[in-house]
Amino acid sequence: MNRTLATAAFALAAFAAAIPAQAQSFIQTRDWDVYVDLPTRFAYVKTPVKGWVFVRQLDGAQMDRLHPTTLTALLPREAEEIHWAHPALEMSPRMLALRQGTQVATQPAATRAE
């Protein structure tokens, strides 16, 4: 099972490296990097052979003293705006104005196209 997962991870990494124009959807990690999942306080170490290995759950004092190089996220921060793939999926000017909280001029019912 671990060998299959390692092979799949290697194939995915090789495929991602072959497409340099596309933005990476994960943080680059090296062997022996430490990752701490903040909500659960679980600590993992990335080993050269087994990949990410669970170490233990950290207590509050250890969470306060995390080393600056400790990873706390493996995905990059999401962009605030979503850029849609098709113009038809973009928000209308009316919806953008409503989201910004500005007043939208409405048309009388008689002049609206129906």
Q: Is 89 helix (H, G, I), strand (E, B) or coil?
A: helix
pTM (2 d.p.) = 0.48
Count CB atoms within 10 A of the CB of residue 36. Answer: 20
Rounded-to-integer distance, Cα 72 and Cα 34, Å:
9
Rounded-to-integer distance, Cα 23 and Cα 80, Å:
16
Angle in degrees, CA 54, 55, 56, rounded to 5: 105
Provide the token pair at 83.
């850029």
Handedness of CA 79, 80, 86, 89 (dihedral sign): positive
Domain residue spans of the chain: 25-106
The 8-class DSSP code of residue 22 comes to: S
Give the residue carrying structure tokens 């099972």: 1
Q: What is the pLDDT of residues 14-66, one digit of tens each?
A: 655 555 444 556 778 899 999 999 999 999 999 999 999 999 999 999 999 99
Report the pLDDT value the prediction gives residue 74, as an integer from 0 to 100.
Answer: 83
